[in-house]
């Protein structure tokens, strides 16, 4: 499957070009790409209540991963990809040690699923299109069979809500910053 951004290859395409499961959400934000990129690290936690609730349920109140999966690759201001190799369908998912992007792309041990999530920015006029895309590639037919019900459960149960909430909170943060920066000095 190929990239949807003007024919160019994305980091996500390089790290997980083949996948069995995919979700993609996008939103155009009324702020320039540098402001949107900076805002990714400035979203207030209170703007993500659904995410906090669902992650708490997923971890059964256990210690949460504050930053999510490790970053696999970044082009500052353009795209960041985070990913993990795990048995996501388990109540307490087993996670394979992936020390670097090459280990992620080269991982082929049967019985696992490779998952990567990308946040990608593209300038659109005076705004920025933000695409959040998740791809998952099981490493065997057994892993695919086990992962499929989990995928449909999380798609129905909140993964999409988390992505939409992220885009909404990002828009709020970046557009607020843009309005503050563009306010006249005597206002």
* Residue, of 42 and 34, whose pLDDT is higher: 34
Q: How far apart are CA 129 and CA 5, in angstroms?
A: 11
Contact 80, 71 (CB under 8 A): yes
CA distance 125 to 139: 41
Give the pLDDT score at 48: 73
146 vs 42: which has the higher pLDDT = 146
* Predicted local distance difference test score (pLDDT) of residue 117: 94
Q: What is the pLDDT of residue 66?
A: 41
pLDDT tens-digit map of 1-29: 334 444 688 999 999 999 999 999 999 99
Q: Give the whole-angstrom CA distance, residue 104 versus residue 98.
A: 6
pLDDT per position as a tens digit, 66-120: 456 899 999 999 999 999 999 999 988 899 999 999 999 999 999 999 999 999 9
Order of strands, sheet of 79-86, starting from the edge strand that comes earlier in the sequence: 21-29, 127-138, 113-124, 79-86, 71-75
Predicted local distance difference test score (pLDDT) of residue 57: 54
pLDDT at residue 56, as a whole number: 58
- What's the CA gap between 9 and 143, in Å, rounded? 27
pLDDT of residue 45: 77
For position 44, what pLDDT does the model report?
76
């Amino acid at each position: 499957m190929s990239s949807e951004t003007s024919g160019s290859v994305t980091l996500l395409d390089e790290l997980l070009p083949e996948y069995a499961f995919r979700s993609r959400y996008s939103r155009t934000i009324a702020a320039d790409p540098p402001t949107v990129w900076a805002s990714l690290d400035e979203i207030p936690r209170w703007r993500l209540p659904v995410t906090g609730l669902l992650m708490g349920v997923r971890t059964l109140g256990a210690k949460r991963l504050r930053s999510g999966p490790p970053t696999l690759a970044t082009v500052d201001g353009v795209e960041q990809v985070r990913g993990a190799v795990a048995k996501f369908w388990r109540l307490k998912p087993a996670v394979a040690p992936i020390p670097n992007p090459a280990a992620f792309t080269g991982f082929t041990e049967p019985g696992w699923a490779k998952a990567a999530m990308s946040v990608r920015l593209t300038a659109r006029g005076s705004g920025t299109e933000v695409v959040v895309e998740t791809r998952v590639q099981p490493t065997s037919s057994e892993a695919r069979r086990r992962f499929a019900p989990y995928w449909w459960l999380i798609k129905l149960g909140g993964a999409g809500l988390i992505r939409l909430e992220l885009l909404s909170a990002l828009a709020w943060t970046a557009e607020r910053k843009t309005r503050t920066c563009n306010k006249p000095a005597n206002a």
